[in-house]
């Protein structure tokens, strides 16, 4: 697994490009805070751009976070058409509400809030 560190302890140019691309993508919308994908936070804690950047530099990305699914990058999944499964529809609604929640700032408390672990 690529971790982005050079032998002298600095980040590689490739790692810096990936990290900058991630930050630009994650903060392209109106959100002032996003889930932090560093290995310490693991997409559970919301932070501002500067703190996410700091965390990524210090801790690196969490393992296997190749598709930025918590930051607007979708996965290609077939659409399920099962009208008889109400639990499935409930799960999708919950997922959509979570997606909306992370995109909108709902006040000062949202800037440093932590999701239950």
d(C-alpha 27, C-alpha 29), whole Å: 5
Domain boundaries, the chain: 13-110
Full DSSP string of 82-94: -TT-HHHHHHHHH
Q: What is the pLDDT of residues 4-30, one digit of tens each?
A: 655 665 778 888 898 898 899 889 888
Full DSSP string of 30-52: S-S-EE--BTTTTT-BEE-HHHH
Look up the pTM and report it: 0.54
> For residue 79, what pLDDT band results from cuts at 50, 70 and 90?
very low
């Amino acid at each position: 697994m690529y971790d982005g560190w050079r032998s002298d302890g600095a980040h590689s140019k490739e790692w810096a490009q990936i990290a900058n691309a991630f930050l630009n993508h994650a903060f392209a919308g109106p959100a002032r805070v996003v889930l932090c994908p560093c290995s310490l936070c693991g997409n559970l804690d919301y932070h501002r751009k500067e703190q996410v950047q700091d965390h990524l530099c210090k801790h690196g990305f969490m393992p296997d976070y190749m598709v930025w699914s918590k930051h607007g990058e979708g996965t290609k999944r077939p659409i399920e058409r099962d009208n008889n499964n109400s639990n499935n529809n409930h799960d999708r609604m919950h997922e959509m509400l979570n997606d909306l929640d992370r995109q909108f700032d709902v006040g000062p408390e949202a800037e440093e809030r932590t999701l239950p672990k």
